[in-house]
Amino acid sequence: MTDPQEVLRLDAVTFRRNGRQILHGIDLTVRAGEHWALLGPNGAGKTTIVGFCAAQTHPTSGTVDVLGKRLGRVDTAELRKHIGHVNPRHRLQTSLTVTEVVLTGVTGTIDLPMRWSPSDDQRARAAALVADVGMTARADSDWHTLSQGERGRALIARALIGDPELLLLDEPTTGLDVAAREQLLETVDSLAVSAPEVASVLVTHHLEELPESTSHAVVIRDGSVVAAGTAADTVTSEVITAAFAHPIGVDYADGRWSARAVRVR
């Protein structure tokens, strides 16, 4: 029986594409209020796993339960309304303001649907979230005039407007300079206080991009789990070295991780 606190569960999940097996028996359980990091080198299978978490992809074998609903037995379009997804590669074609982009989180669309108009409550909620991510001064700015960091913060507000139970952050600091990265990570950390029941999964291959609120981690390599559990037990030199097939020293200080290659003498 599914634990009522379980937000996401993958059991023995495999995935094949074009005759090639990409995932090999992935197990993962995420509970309410936990903040997971999904770590691994390029090509490890992180994007494929996020596809399951976002109810966008079905496994070849094994089971995926998202918010208590099993993929293959549920209307995924409806399920996705309860999942917040932050993707820095957000493909917006039309000219929308920051507020309008946030409001697309209500409809779960890229653009605002024709003949749809937000309610006063939805507009108020959007304004509050824009303020929460520090974007009030840019609320009426066109999306195409924003920096990558500003877009990232706006997308977090968009993901939260539907009051999701699960928040997915797919390499949210891609393309950001150091200052913009830190501002975005501060925004992510604030969610642990403002929305304590929301579970999150953040995908990255850079340990420096992990927010302080990271509580758990799953590390993968070549489609298999190397280690999973609390961040303290999982984000270690031994595990990261095994995952990246290179001697890596991992440090933890002041709530943040860093990594550097270990010189072999």
Q: State pLDDT tens for residues 99-127.
A: 999 998 888 788 888 888 999 999 999 99
Closest by CA to 168, choosing from 10, 46, 2, 252, is: 46
* E strand intervals along 32-89: 35-39, 61-66, 69-70, 83-86
> Which pTM does this prediction carry?
0.89
Distance CA(256)–CA(200), nearest Å, equals 17
Positive or negative torsion for Cα 184, 189, 190, 196? positive
> CATH number for the 6-92+164-261 domain, one of 3.40.350.10, 3.10.620.30, 3.40.190.290, 3.40.50.300?
3.40.50.300
Pull the structure tokens for residue 246: 């290179």
130-148: per-residue pLDDT in tens? 998 889 999 999 998 998 8
State the average pLDDT over residues 191-204.
91
pLDDT band for 1, please (50, 70, 90 cuts).
very low
Domain boundaries, the chain: 6-92+164-261
Mean pLDDT of the chain: 91
Alpha helices in the chain (DSSP H): 46-53, 76-79, 98-107, 120-132, 148-160, 178-194, 231-234, 237-244
- pLDDT tens, 63-103? 999 999 999 999 988 888 889 988 877 777 788 999 999 99
Of all residues in the chain, the percent with pLDDT exceeding 70 is 98
